[in-house]
Amino acid sequence: MSQRHDTPKSLKITAIPVADAARVLASAYKRRVTEEQVRQIAERGGLIRADGTINLLEYAAYLVRELAHGSD
């Protein structure tokens, strides 16, 4: 008998691809969050690493700082 191993891909929140970050945020917020939206914010904050990943904790902290400072 053959067994299927469909285990979900684990995500490392300290090094997550932008596309995966968008999916995680969309799921958490229960609203549409696009990869492009996440990429624009991450680029503005200088958060994208050479390998194309971001640290989701740094991303959230950046958003909090932006809100606290009344950014556009």
Instruction: Measure CA of the first residue to CA of the last residue in the chain; give whole Å.
Output: 58
Could you tell me if residue 45 is inside a domain?
Answer: yes
- pLDDT at residue number 60: 95
- pLDDT tens sequence across 12-54: 999 999 999 999 999 999 999 999 999 999 999 999 999 999 9
With 0-12 CB in 10 A as exposed, 13-18 as middle and 19+ as buried, what is 56?
buried
Domain count, the chain: 1
With 0-12 CB in 10 A as exposed, 13-18 as middle and 19+ as buried, what is 8?
exposed
Residue 58 binned pLDDT confidence (cut-offs 50, 70, 90): very high
What residue numbers bound the domain in which 20 lies? Answer: 16-68
